[in-house]
Amino acid sequence: MKSDKKSIGANSSAEHVEQHLQELEKADYEILYYSQEQTFSADELARLINEERLNELMAQSDEFLNSLNSEIGDFDE
């Protein structure tokens, strides 16, 4: 009788996990769907984007890629 309860509990847990994953998948799809529908004007984007911070991040990424390229070049030798 104990084994029956465990199998029922296991199925129940598996069903709950499956249901939860399906809900997450649906939420991800809804977020993607609605984010694609939104249009932003140039003024809205300019207001939302911190241009100074964006430039800093781009400079950091350029530095990183340059150092990575030199490391890769040194690796080949």
Q: How far apart are CA 6 and CA 11, in angstroms?
A: 8
Q: What is the pLDDT of residue 1?
A: 46
Rounded mean pLDDT for each run of 10 residues along the chain, 77 residues in total: 50 84 79 70 86 93 90 73
The domain ranges of the chain are 1-38, 40-77
Q: What is the pTM of this model?
A: 0.38
Residues recorded for the chain? 77
